[in-house]
Amino acid sequence: MKCIVVDDEPFALDLIKGYIEKTPFLELAGAFSNPLKAMQFLMANQAELVFLDINMPEISGLGMLNSLRTKPLVIFITAYPEYGAESYNYDAVDYLLKPVKYERFLKAVNKAYDAAGKSKPEKVVTDTSRDDESALLLKSGSQVYRVLPKNILFVEGTGNYMAFYTTGKKILSLLTMKEAIAHLPADQFVRVHKSYIISLAHIDVIERHQVIIQGHRIPIGITYREQFFAKYRMPGK
């Protein structure tokens, strides 16, 4: 589902952009701090959903929406709860109050999918650990798995897929190595091979040419060896 974000507050704009980028069934088509530029974009491009701030300079979100000939689905975002009742007069899908939590964001986009008649993933499989906004959403077939980084042992590149080995299961997701690295916390994971990313917390044994994680032997590539052993120095290194 293609969507854009319009918000004059940089923090709020970046937050919603990040939420969109980690939600498998959303595609970010544009992000604008200036509502006039967003209007210009919508005149030349299609967006099925707009995340729209209400209180903005030059023209409000409500004014912007009124000016559009073809109106996309809209989720209003604002720091002012008094706009809530008015927003529903514009057939808004939902109304989010800043600061927006990811769980609340997901609830709103699910409504948007229903309103658009989209075919959503059949099921979201949730990690049974405590609720945590740092969780990854990994799409695998018709399911979306919500997995906490602390429960990921290592990640292996296999053809067009990345295999996420967790404490409970193996999840295949259609991602590139670059995308997988971008989703994982840099202070908790390290790339040790062209095909492997490992969790530092789950290493059981470190050898010169490999590490062992719960019985899995993972090679350490020459290109990544110096970086890895800078954190884990071996005798004689």
Q: What pLDDT digit, counting tens, does each position of 193-224 carry? A: 999 999 999 999 998 899 999 999 999 999 99
For residue 117, the 8-state DSSP code is T
Q: What is the pLDDT of residue 117?
A: 66
Q: What is the pLDDT of residue 224?
A: 92
Q: What domains lie within the chain, and their CATH numbers?
A: 2-116 (3.40.50.2300), 124-229 (2.40.50.1020)
Q: 178: number of CA atoms within 13 Å, CB side?
A: 0
Q: What is the pLDDT of residue 123?
A: 47
- Work out the burial of residue 108: count CB atoms within 10 Å of its CB; fewer than 13 is exposed, 13-18 middle, 19 or more buried: buried
Cβ neighbors of 225 (< 8 A, separation 6 or more) are: 192
Q: Is 38 left (phi over 0), alpha (psi -120 to 50) or beta?
A: alpha
Q: Which residues of 58-85 are buried (b: 16+ CB within 10 A; e: fewer)?
A: ebbbbebbeeeeeebbbbbbbeeeebee
Q: Round the CA-based radius of gyration of the chain to a whole number and report it.
A: 21
Q: What is the pLDDT of residue 125?
A: 52
Give the containing element (helix H, strand E) for 184: none
Which ranges of the chain have pLDDT less than 50? Answer: 119-124, 128-131, 234-237
**pTM score of the predicted model:** 0.50
Q: What is the pLDDT of residue 133?
A: 53
- Cβ neighbours of 107 (radius 10 Å): 12
Asked if residues 100 and 13 have their Cβ atoms less than 8 Å apart, the reply is: no
